[in-house]
Chain A
Amino acid sequence: MMHPVDWLIIFAYLAYIIWDGLRRTRGREDIEGYFLANRSMPWWVVGLSVMATQMSAITLVGTTGQGASDGMRFVQFYFGLPLAMLILSVTLVPFFHRAKVYTAYEFLERRFDARTRSMTSGLFLLSRGMSAGVIISAPAVILSVVLGLSFPVSVAIIGVPAVAYTMFGGVEAVQWVDVKQMVLIVGGLGALLVILLAGIPGDVGIGNALRLAGETGRLDTFDFSFDLTETYTFWSGVIGGLFLMLSYFGTDQSQVQRYLTARSLDDARSSLFMSAYWKIPLQAMVLMIGVLVFVYYLFSAPPLLFNAAHDAATRAAATTEYQALDLRYEGAFQRRRDAALDFARARDAGDDALADRSADRFLAENAALEAVRGDALGLAPRATGQNPRDVNYIIPAFVLGELPIAIPGLFIAAVLAAAMSSIAAELNSLSTATIIDFYRRRFRPVASDAHYLRASRIATGLWGLFACGVALYAVALGSLIEVVNRFGSFFYGSILGVFMLAMIPLARPTGAFIGLISGMVAVGLVDAFTDIAFLWLNVVGAVAVVTVGLLFSFILPGADGGAPTAVEAAGIQD
């Protein structure tokens, strides 16, 4: 149970965010202000907003949990990001900025044709519309368990403030709120790190604690094997991750719109460099927090299952089996703790032989404890019929169960901040693509700014309702959402391929359109008939689009005559 002070922190934070977002409603009279903040934002606001958009609530609870259970290796996923930012800052970003577009896809119409624009924008709306629901539902499920709230209330706590300030305040509200959210998130993570380091038992020390984590492989960051079926390796991160990050930051409207608001090209570039500087260190810190939570539970008994509600349901449904597992777990924990303490004492005494023997004992007992937990994770779904990912509950259980008053409130507020900053960016960009790429382009080309502003607010509100609706029925829609997400992964690299084609003067509109379709088909086939890890699919899609697109641009060069080059499309004067 949370202390009233923690609840007070959460409600004060929610009230502040709503007030702060809504006060920026004033002065919004046109869609350039609503969608692009009149291109007036300084680099550091845009940069923090870019980072807040990418850092979702699942990063806070899921990635830290992954650090606790699997260690640091996930950080390799981000190794391609800095290079992606450098490439984008000299390629797409100057074109978008000078073209003064509202959406990335608008640029594609200027360079190619309306087909390619509508298709890429439509794919964005389809996949991001569904993922907006998941961005709400995933943390709402966790919050409802750890706070004891009903699921619809949890959805409302995340969805209503984000929809309100996005709908009324537009992109400027979203980005200024993101700044505060990001400060809270980083502050919360920093506080957690300090508390965990300070909480390492004095007779163990930080050095020995890290060695114990290292013995279990949790500090093994680099995997240099070139195995295309392995999800996280150095090479999949650097190469596959580079293509994924190029696509995400260069062609996904939820990110492109952040830096389109920058007041100059220089500011737009600098905002991306902020992520290039800080993303990997920040992600390493998130994972290290997880590793230190693992260390914490070496000396303090962890629960058998971290999801308390699922733990209680399992205990009630299969009492005898659960108690037997609990007894084994308790014994394994005591023996592992003793071995860990012996290891630390032996190292401090300089007795290397004893330290080695203690390390072997520690690893054996750690394996025994993890085997019992594996048995419990197998028993729980059989007994209850439910199978929540327990790793997502490790950090919430630790924060709420082990830390003093005010810290749980701060942590939950940070989780809400991460969820809202991501959902707000999604809603804002979904509304922009809907109004600019479809409503104004196809249905109502001429109307007053007041009309478009009203339509934009309505579109934001409707996307918010849609996202909350998807979130509420996410469990029932599970397989559908999975299909859409899977479908989304098919075209991420392909959309990047179209933008790469846009940079190549030889590419022609029909070639680009055929290339886009071919890229998605190629990725679908590779995914269906091979075991290649998903990060590599981005490379497959982009390469297929560029290859087929150029081929058809040669075969059908006259079909659409003199398409403008990217420089001409952006209206750049020499």
Chain B
Amino acid sequence: MSDEPLARAPAAGRPRRSPGALAAGVLIVQALTLLALWLLQSTFGGG
């Protein structure tokens, strides 16, 4: 299966992604990732 037609599809007509929403998403995902790492450390960490 060739993926080239996808690459050459025109940019127009696609739903526009809001940069603000993407940025907020980045911050939320990072906060959750750091929280997960912190929970890993505090739950299973030594000392």
Contact B45 A219 (CB under 8 A): yes
Contact B26 A273 (CB under 8 A): yes
- Does more than half of chain A's interface fall in helix, strand or loop, or is it mixed? helix
* A37-B7, A267-B11 given; A220·B41 CB < 8 A: yes
User: What total of chain A residues lie within 8 Å of the partner, measured CB to CB?
Assistant: 43
Contact A172 B23 (CB under 8 A): no
Contact B26 A219 (CB under 8 A): no
Residues of B near A345 (CB, < 8 A) are none
Residues of B near A201 (CB, < 8 A) are none
Q: Which residue of B lies closest to A23 (CB)?
A: B2
Residue among B4, B7, B16 with most chain A CB within 10 A: B7
Complex: A42 Cα to B46 Cα, angstroms: 45
* A215-B46, A277-B25 given; A75·B37 CB < 8 A: yes
Contact B11 A263 (CB under 8 A): yes
Complex: A42 Cα to B14 Cα, angstroms: 11
Render B20-47 as a binary contact track against A, CB cut-off 8 A, 1 for contact.
0011011101100110011011011111
Contact A85 B11 (CB under 8 A): no
Q: Which residue of A lies closest to B29 (CB)?
A: A277
Complex: A214 Cα to B39 Cα, angstroms: 12
Complex: A123 Cα to B30 Cα, angstroms: 33
Render A203-217 as a binary contact track against B, CB cut-off 8 A, 1 for contact.
000010011011111
- Does more than half of chain B's interface fall in helix, strand or loop, or is it mixed? helix
Residues of B near A281 (CB, < 8 A) are 29, 33
Residues of B near A211 (CB, < 8 A) are 44
Contact B3 A176 (CB under 8 A): yes
Complex: A176 Cα to B7 Cα, angstroms: 9
Residues of B near A172 (CB, < 8 A) are 7
Complex: A267 Cα to B7 Cα, angstroms: 12
Residues of B near A24 (CB, < 8 A) are 4
Complex: A217 Cα to B25 Cα, angstroms: 31
Q: Which residue of B lies closest to A179 (CB)?
A: B3
Contact B30 A280 (CB under 8 A): yes
Contact B41 A219 (CB under 8 A): yes
User: What total of chain B residues lie within 8 Å of the partner, measured CB to CB?
Assistant: 28
A221 shortest CB reach to chain B, Å: 5
Check: A242 CB closer than 8 A to any chain B CB. Answer: no
Residues of A near B27 (CB, < 8 A) are 82, 86
A45 shortest CB reach to chain B, Å: 7
Q: Which residue of A lies closest to B30 (CB)?
A: A82
Complex: A82 Cα to B29 Cα, angstroms: 10
B24 shortest CB reach to chain A, Å: 10
Among A77-110, those with CB < 8 Å from B are 79, 82, 85-86, 89-90
Check: A319 CB closer than 8 A to any chain B CB. Answer: no
Complex: A452 Cα to B3 Cα, angstroms: 27
Residues of B near A280 (CB, < 8 A) are 30, 33-34
Check: A270 CB closer than 8 A to any chain B CB. Answer: yes
Check: A468 CB closer than 8 A to any chain B CB. Answer: no
A85 shortest CB reach to chain B, Å: 7
Contact B30 A264 (CB under 8 A): no
Residues of B near A136 (CB, < 8 A) are none
Contact B44 A210 (CB under 8 A): yes
Contact B26 A276 (CB under 8 A): yes
Contact B23 A86 (CB under 8 A): yes
Contact A220 B45 (CB under 8 A): yes
Render A425-439 as a binary contact track against B, CB cut-off 8 A, 1 for contact.
000000000000000
> What residues of chain B have their CB less than 8 Å away from a CB belonging to chain A?
3-4, 6-9, 11, 16-17, 19, 22-23, 25-27, 29-30, 33-34, 37-38, 40-41, 43-47
Q: List 15 A-B contacts (CB under 8 A).
A: A41-B7, A79-B34, A89-B19, A176-B3, A210-B44, A214-B41, A217-B45, A217-B46, A221-B38, A221-B40, A266-B17, A277-B26, A284-B33, A284-B37, A359-B46
Name 16 extra pairs, CB < 8 A, besides A215-B46, A359-B46. A40-B7, A72-B41, A85-B26, A89-B23, A172-B7, A176-B7, A179-B3, A213-B44, A214-B46, A219-B46, A221-B37, A221-B38, A222-B41, A266-B16, A273-B23, A280-B33
